[in-house]
Amino acid sequence: MLPEHEALLFLTRQQFPKLAGVPCELDAIVKGGSDRRFFRLRFAEGAHPGMVLMLYTLARRDNPKFVPATHRLAKSGVHVPAIFGFDEERLCVWLEDLGNDDLHAHDSDPWEQRRALYQATLREVAKIHSITEDTLSKADLSVLEPAFDEELYQWEQDYFLTHYVEGHAGLKRDDPAFAAAHETLRDLRQRLAKEPRCLVHRDFQSQNVLLRNGEAWFVDYQGLRPGLAEYDLASLLFDPYVTFEHGQRGELLAAYAAHRDLDLMLLREMFYLCAAQRLMQALGAYGNLSRNQGKPQFKKHIPAAVKNLRHVCDQHEVLQPLRVFLET
């Protein structure tokens, strides 16, 4: 066994003295672009349910928010992993093991099967979206990430301009040809910032939805904060990691609207505005991860995200000027 794994088992047995001496298998879990690290622990003889050990750093401000976000979601009946142990000093969290089956793994399934999984996911996330900003307590707000506002939307747009437009595409953001696009970015962030907010997952994509007994369970929600439900919906339905036909997105959006008794036309309009914002954030992330963070595998997702953003711009007239950033 690797020395690091031996050290992690030692920490685990300190946290759970009853497991001292119980044989255990420990395997690293490779997961996404996060700076956190995950390990699966399987104890012999049914001594304890499966556990996942998460090691995090303080390099990202949202990493320490995972535990309070878990408690807040569990309080509302949202499917999240149980926390078995927490060592705040050593930055370790021992979590219920929800398994490996996520939405991403079902990308090639027939639509009839995928539809049911996505509908279950939308029903579950509706529990989060039903928590409006004005119902959150001061205690809630103190442990969650800051709400989406015009400043945060601008930060996402600048992230896109820096790491995709300039870093990946090699364009200059201050090119006079982009003047109309910059006006569109300003109008977009101002429009989104005026909308009433609810609680949102913030990184609601297929790899962050685990499946168990036909129900959806959520992970990687440490960015939980007040925002727009349509931002989460756009994250899921324009996820560059998976494929959708246009009609399939519309079908799922209609199902969500019906479940929450929302006006579908109004929902669709805000959905496309949020989709533009979210896809720009994703393109910025892929550019940054692939060029600056030593994770070149994320470069392969850029074409799908660009294709999705072009499609979104075509669905909403006010977004058309943003296409100039994508004509490379």
The pLDDT value given to residue 163: 98
Interatomic CA distance for residues 275 and 305, integer angstroms: 11
The DSSP line for 227-269 is E-HHHHHHHHHT-TTS---HHHHHHHHHHHHHHHT--HHHHHH
pLDDT tens digit sequence for 130-166 = 999 999 999 999 999 999 999 999 999 999 999 999 9
Span 291-302, mean pLDDT?
94
Judged by average pLDDT, the poorest of 16-25, 185-194, 244-253 is 16-25
The pLDDT value given to residue 44: 86
Helices (H) and strands (E) in the chain, counts: 10, 9
Residue 1 confidence (pLDDT) above 70: no
Helix 150-160 vs helix 264-292: crossing angle, to nearest 10: 50
Tallying the residues shown for the chain, one arrives at: 328
Interatomic CA distance for residues 305 and 220, integer angstroms: 21
Span 123-132, mean pLDDT?
98
Residue 64 confidence (pLDDT) above 80: yes
Span 62-80, mean pLDDT?
97
Q: Is the dihedral of CA 146, 150, 152, 153 positive or negative?
A: positive
Q: Are 233 and 257 in contact (CB under 8 A)?
A: no
Span 277-298, mean pLDDT?
96
- What tokens were used for 142? 């103190």
Interatomic CA distance for residues 195 and 193, integer angstroms: 6
The pLDDT value given to residue 32: 66
Q: Are 274 and 315 in contact (CB under 8 A)?
A: no
In DSSP terms, 255 is beta-bridged to: none
Instruction: Supply the mean pLDDT for the chain.
Output: 95
The pLDDT value given to residue 33: 65
Helix (H, G, I), strand (E, B), or coil: what is residue 2?
coil
Interatomic CA distance for residues 203 and 213, integer angstroms: 23
Interatomic CA distance for residues 154 and 172, integer angstroms: 18
The structural domains of the chain, with segments of one domain joined by +, span 3-96, 103-326
CB-based burial label for 243 (10 Å; 0-12, 13-18, 19+): exposed
Percentage of the chain exceeding pLDDT 90: 91
The pLDDT value given to residue 327: 85
State which fold the 103-326 domain adopts: Aminoglycoside 3'-phosphotransferase; Chain: A, domain 2 (3.90.1200)
The pLDDT value given to residue 217: 98
Interatomic CA distance for residues 296 and 202, integer angstroms: 23
The pLDDT value given to residue 288: 96
Interatomic CA distance for residues 82 and 98, integer angstroms: 9
State which fold the 3-96 domain adopts: Phosphorylase Kinase; domain 1 (3.30.200)
Listed in sequence order, the residues at least 6 apart from 246 whose beta carbon sits closer than 8 Å to its beta carbon are 311
pLDDT tens digit sequence for 245-260 = 889 999 999 999 999 9
Q: Say whether pTM exceeds 0.85.
A: yes
Interatomic CA distance for residues 317 and 298, integer angstroms: 30
Percentage of the chain exceeding pLDDT 70: 98
Helix (H, G, I), strand (E, B), or coil: what is residue 35?
coil
